[in-house]
Amino acid sequence: MKTIYTYATPRPFGNFSMPVPAQNSCMREYASNNNYKYSLPFLELMYDNCYAQLFRVIHNMPSNSSFLCYSIHMLPLYDNLKLSKIIKLFTKKNISLHFILEGKIVSSGDEILHFKNFKIISDQIDNDEVIIYE
């Protein structure tokens, strides 16, 4: 049984704020339902725009493994430099990314960027107010 490496954050992500124990519970269930050995999550620091534990988990993961977090919004989607470094690391190590909230698994840098752009656009559409003029 392959191990799935997990990552959680106590900070809000996207339009969500979810307690770490709830993220942990969802990830444990995901691992169980998908025949993965569960590993306790690397827990990010509270500081805004801090991704130290995210980089740590990626560096500690073996090649050809799987990464799990609750949402793609836990990645630095709006920081192109950090996102680029993360994508390079995932791609170099051939790591697949699993996102529970979005129900998506991506396995290449191109897929991550495509999915990132899709999520940003769809989130903007979902958050825009619709004004009807009479």
Residue 55 lies in a domain: yes
**131 has pLDDT over 60:** no
> With contact defined as beta carbons under 8 Å apart, do 123 and 14 qualify?
yes
Domain that holds residue 36: 3-127
**Nearest alpha-carbon partner for 16 in 89, 102, 88, 87:** 102
Residue 133 lies in a domain: no
Mean pLDDT of the chain: 84
Segment 32-83, tens digit of pLDDT: 999 999 999 999 998 888 999 999 999 999 999 999 999 988 999 888 889 8
Residue 97 lies in a domain: yes
C-alpha dihedral sign at 17, 103, 58, 118: negative
Other C-beta atoms closer than 10 Å to the C-beta of 113 total 14
**19 has pLDDT over 90:** yes
Number of independent structural domains in the chain: 1
What stretches of the chain show up as alpha helix (H) in DSSP? 20-33, 52-60, 80-93, 109-127
> Which CATH number covers residue 102?
3.40.50.1390
Higher pLDDT, 130 or 19: 19
**DSSP string of 16-45, one letter each residue:** B---HHHHHHHHHHHHHHTT-EE-PPEEPP
Residue 132 lies in a domain: no
